[in-house]
Chains A and B, each alone.
Chain A
Amino acid sequence: MAIENRKDMIKQGGIWVFILAELIFFSMAGHYWSVSNQAFMDPGNMLLLLKQSAPIGIIALGMTIIMINGNIDLSVGAIFALSAVVLLDSLSWPFMMAMGDWALPLAWGFALLTGVTLGAVNGLIVWKTGIDAFIVTLGSMLGFRGLVFMYNGEQPTSNLNWTLVDFAEAQVLGLHTATWFLFGTALVLWFVTTRTNHGRNAYAIGNNRDAAVNAGIRVGPHFMWNFILIGFLAALSAVVFYSESGSVNPNDGMLYELWAITAVVLGGTKLAGGYGSIAGTLGGVIAIQLLRKGLGHIGADTQTVNLVIGLILIAVLFLDRQLTRKGKEELKI
C-alpha cells in the first residue's frame, strides 16, 4: 500500500515537477540564449502563459472526462471552428445587428448551442450505434469540418466587435478573461469529477463498463452527456478565443484534438480509461504552453519545437510505464 501511494503521488505530482523543471531550465537557458531582455519568469509573462493555455486548455479539460470514460474525441478542433463561425457570423444577422450589444450574449449562446448540438450528434451516434468513439469522432472530424467549409465557402468568417474584444482583453485581479474561463472550467470539472454522481460514474464506466451497465448506470446517455459537455467546452473555448480575435479561417482548430490529447496524457490520464484527474490535465496544458513559450524564448525554431514535444510525449509514456511495472516477477506478456 505504501508503495502504491508513493507511486500515485509521483504520478499525480509528476507533471508539476516537470513544470518546475521547465521553469528553471528556461530561466537559466534564457539567460544565455535569449535575445530578449526580459526574464522568463516575469509575472506578466506567467499571467500570459495562463491566458495562452486557455484555448487548448478548456478543450483538454473536457477531453479528460471523455478519456476517463475510455473514449476519445477527435472532432473537437472542427467543433471549435464551427462554433467560432456561428459566433462571428450570427453577429451580422440583421436582427442581431438591430439588437446592438445585446446581441453579444445571444451570439455566445448560438455558438455554445452549436457546440452542444455537434457534441450531441457524436454522443448520439456513439450511444445508439455502439461504434467506437475513436471511429465516430474520426468521421465527424471530417464531417464537421465539411460543415465549416459549407457555411461560408472557403472564406474566413469575420466580425470584429470591439466591445467583445474589450471584454475578452480585460484583466480582473490581474487575470485575463480567458484565464478566468480556464480556471472556472477547471473548477467546475474538478467538482464534477470528484464530487458528483456523474463524475464518479465516469470513472466507474472507464474502469469496468460491464460492471457499470450491470449496476444500472445508463452508459449510453452518460456518454452522450459527456460528448455534449466537450462540445460545449470546445464551443466555449472558441467563444473565448474568437471574441478576442474576431475572424475565423475554415482551417482553424485543426490538430487541436491532438494537442488536447497530448495535454491530457501528459497530465496522467490513462487512455484505457478509469483513471485521471482535472488537476493533472491543467498541469499538462500549462506544461505544453510553457514548452512552446520557453523554446520560443531561447530562440529554438519550429522543427526543434516539434521534435522536443514529440519526444517528451513518448518519454512521459515511458516513465509512466516504468512506474506501473510491478517489478521483476511480473508476468512477461
Chain B
Amino acid sequence: MKNTMKAALACTTAMFGSAAAAQTMTIGITQNNVGVDSYQTTYERAFIAAAEANPDVNAIVLDAGGDVARQLAQIEDLIQQQVDAIIIWPTNGEAVIPAVRRAHNAGIPVVVTNSNIAEQGFDFISSFSGPDNVTQGSRAAEIMCERFTELGIEDEARVVQISGQPGYTTAIERQQGFDERLPEVCPNVTLVATQPGDWNRERSQQVMEAFLIQYDDIDGVYAGDDNMGIGALNAARAAGREGITFVGATNFAVGYDAMEAGDYWGSIYQSPVDDAEAALQTAIDILNGEEVPFLNYFDTPKITQDNMGDFTKPVF
C-alpha cells in the first residue's frame, strides 16, 4: 500500500518537470510570524531575494503566523512535497522536534534559523544558523555595566527588564543571558523587575509606565529588542524621566535613530538580511555536501552611541 503510493508520487514528480529539477534544489522554509515586526518581514524579503538571485534554488516560502499547529502542518507539507531541504524558524523550540524528526527520517536535511530548537532535537537537524541569543543577553549586560561604570553608578544602579514574548526561545535565551551575566560583571547592580513586553512596542510602553510609577529610581532598562526599548523610551520621555540608560537588542532603525539622538544607549547589531542569507547558504552548503558547523552563529556585535559610526543604519 505504502509502496504503491510512493510509486505514484514518484510518477507525478517525474511528470511535472523533474527534467528542470535535475540541477536545482527545492528549499522550503517555514517562518515564525511574518508581519508581526519588521525584522521578520525584512528577513522574508531578504530570503526571497537571495533565493531568486540563485538560479539553482527553488524556494517555497511559508509563514506559520505564530501558530505551532500551522507550522507543524507546513513541515509535513514540505516533507510531503519532497523538498530537498527544510529551513525552520521555530514558533516553539521544542514542539517542532517530532516534525523535525520526521523530516530527518524522510532524508530531508533541516536547518533551524534565528531561534534554536531544544537540545533533544539536535540529533535531527543538520545545523542551526542564527544569532547566539544567550551571548546577546550577556553582551547587553556588559554594555549596561560598562555604561554604569562610566557614569559611576555601578554600585547602586537599579535596572528593569522588559522581556520578549513569553515562551519564545529568543526571549528566554536573551533574558537568561542577561540575568546570568549582569551579576557577574556588575555584582552591585540590582535587577528590580522583569515583565514581558511581547515584542510589542505598545505593550512595552505600558509596562514601562507602570515601572516608572512603581520605582522612583530606575537607572537602566534592558529590553528584549529595540522595538520594545523604544516603547520604554517613549514612556520615560512622556513621564519626564531622564538619565536612564536604555539597552536593547536586535538594533532596529528606530533604535539606531534614538541612539543617534542620544536618547538610547546601546543595542546588539543583528541584521535580518545576514540572518536570512546565512540560513539559505547553510542549507545550500549542506545540499552541496559541504561541511558546516553545527551551531552556525553569525556575529551580532555590540553597538552603542560610542561605536555606532561603524554600522550602517538598519533597513528595518
Contact = CB atoms under 8 A, between A and B. Distances in A.
Interface of A: 35-39, 42-45, 48, 51-52, 55-56, 149, 153-156, 158, 160, 165, 168-169, 174, 241-242, 244-252, 255, 289, 292-293, 296, 299, 301-303
The residue in A45, A154, A244, A252 that gathers the most chain B C-beta atoms within 10 A of its C-beta is A154
B179 interface: no
Interface in B76-113: 76-77, 80-83, 91-99, 101-102
Interface stretch (B13-21, B225-233, B251-259): B13-21
A301 B31 CA distance: 11
Nearest to A302: B63
B49 interface: no
B305 interface: no
Given A251-B165, A293-B77, A296-B62, A244 B72 contact: yes
Contact of B99 (A39, A44, A242, A245): A245
Nearest to A56: B69
The 9 closest A-B pairs by CB, nearest first: A154-B166, A247-B94, A249-B167, A245-B95, A52-B73, A247-B95, A158-B94, A165-B98, A38-B81
Nearest to B82: A38
B58 interface: yes
B97 A246 contact: yes
A290 to B, nearest CB: 12
B58 A251 contact: no
Interface centre among B94, B165, B172 (most CB of A within 10 A): B94
A43 B97 CA distance: 25
B68 A245 contact: yes
A13 to B, nearest CB: 27
A160 B62 contact: no
B261 interface: no
Nearest to A160: B120
Interface stretch (B1-9, B141-149, B294-302): B1-9
Contact of B76 (A36, A48, A55): A48
A244 B18 contact: no
A303 to B, nearest CB: 7
Given A42-B80, A165-B98, A247-B93, A37 B21 contact: yes
B9 A156 contact: no
Interface of B: 1, 5, 8-9, 12-13, 16-18, 21, 26, 34-35, 58-63, 65-70, 72-74, 76-77, 80-83, 91-99, 101-102, 118, 120, 163, 165-168, 172, 196
B102 A169 contact: yes
Given A37-B21, A42-B9, A158-B118, A249 B16 contact: no
A35 B82 CA distance: 12
Contacts of B18: 37
Given A169-B102, A244-B72, A249 B168 contact: yes
Nearest to B18: A37
Contacts of B94: 156, 158, 160, 245-247
Given A35-B59, A38-B16, 4 more contacts: A36-B60, A45-B77, A51-B76, A154-B196
Contacts of B166: 149, 153-155, 249-251
Interface centre among A52, A241, A251 (most CB of B within 10 A): A251
